[in-house]
Amino acid sequence: MIWDINKYVDGCPMCLEVKPVCEKPVGELKPTEIPSEPWGVISVNFITELPDSAGSHCIMNIIDQHSKLLYSSACNIRITAEGVARLFLDTAWHYEGLPKQVISD
């Protein structure tokens, strides 16, 4: 019965006009600015749900926004914040130092 009601409301022009919008308005997307120097701004992303390979299920990518230089490290899906910090120290920080800004989702 609920399915029939939802189908009727979704197809009724009057219902669509009167039905209140419960979502907040979406803001404008703004691209990040390209930094003027290498290693000023980096982004950190995880690629997850990969097939198992020697106990690793995901990859941590560290990308320099200026030069697009990429550092990748294999990790487990249950990695902790301490583990992420250790991967960062062992890969990117060892060669580049500390960035000014980190962008992560």
Q: Compute the average pLDDT of residues 65-82.
A: 91
Q: What span, in angstroms and rounded, lies between the C-alpha atoms of 62 and 87?
A: 10
Nearest alpha carbon to residue 60 among 87, 38, 82, 26: 87
At residue 14, does pLDDT exceed 90?
Answer: no
Q: What span, in angstroms and rounded, lies between the C-alpha atoms of 83 and 81?
A: 5
Cα angle: 24, vertex 7, 27; to 5 degrees:
15
Residue 41's CB is within 10 A of a number of other CB atoms, namely 20
End-to-end CA, the chain: 40
At residue 52, does pLDDT exceed 90?
Answer: no
Mean pLDDT of the chain: 86
Q: Compute the average pLDDT of residues 10-34.
A: 77
Q: What span, in angstroms and rounded, lies between the C-alpha atoms of 63 and 43?
A: 5
Domains of the chain: 41-104 (3.30.420.10)
Looking at residue 5, its pLDDT comes to: 77
Kindly report the pTM of this predicted structure. 0.68
